[in-house]
């Protein structure tokens, strides 16, 4: 079930900034929840009630979650929702911060979401065939009659 406050705020955000689809905001929220769970598993010391995720941590969580949910279609789906680069996620995060849905620390900034990875390397390359090592001339001609 959708959170009515979240939905209402996202509807307002989209009226002010229509670059990103509502589904992108829902994806961001679900990916953040998954990222927090994974980070808490890895670091029990961070298991307090208040939990801060950095921009790069969130971007990694978004990458993993997108690949899990959409596999080789991840880039296509994200592009369809208006997401083309890491900074777009940052813009969405700060839209949610500006409307009181997410909070930030004093050190958080939009630049935390810049140039962490390209969508090509994050969502396309994992599904491209691995290149075989180039073989030298001796190895290339190894099929010879006995």
Mean pLDDT of residues grouped by 10 in the chain (146 residues)? 80 97 98 93 67 92 97 98 98 96 92 94 93 60 54
Angle, alpha carbons 71-77-79 (nearest 5°) = 125
pLDDT of residue 145: 57
Consecutive H or E run containing 94: helix 86-98
Q: How many CB atoms lie within 10 A of CB 120?
A: 10
**Both tokens of residue 78?**
């994200």
**Cα gap 44→121, rounded to integer Å:** 31
Return the structure tokens found at 60.
Answer: 């990694």
Rounded Cα gap, residues 4 and 27, in angstroms: 16
CA distance linking residue 67 with residue 124, whole number of Å: 10
Please tell me the predicted confidence (pLDDT) of residue 146.
54
User: Which pLDDT score, from 0 to 100, does residue 1 have?
Assistant: 46
């Amino acid at each position: 079930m959708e959170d009515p406050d979240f939905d209402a705020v996202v509807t307002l955000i989209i009226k002010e900034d229509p670059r990103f689809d509502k589904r992108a905001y829902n994806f961001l929220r679900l990916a953040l929840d998954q990222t927090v769970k994974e980070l808490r598993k890895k670091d029990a010391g961070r298991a307090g009630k208040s939990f801060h995720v950095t921009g790069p941590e969130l971007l990694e969580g978004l990458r993993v979650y997108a690949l899990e949910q959409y596999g080789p279609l991840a880039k296509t789906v994200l592009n369809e929702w208006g997401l083309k680069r890491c900074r777009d996620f940052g813009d969405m995060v700060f839209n949610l911060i500006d409307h009181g849905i997410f909070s930030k620390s004093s050190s958080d900034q939009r630049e935390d979401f810049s140039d962490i990875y390209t969508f090509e390397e994050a969502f396309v390359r994992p599904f491209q065939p691995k290149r075989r090592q180039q073989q030298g001339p001796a190895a290339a001609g190894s099929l010879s009659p006995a």
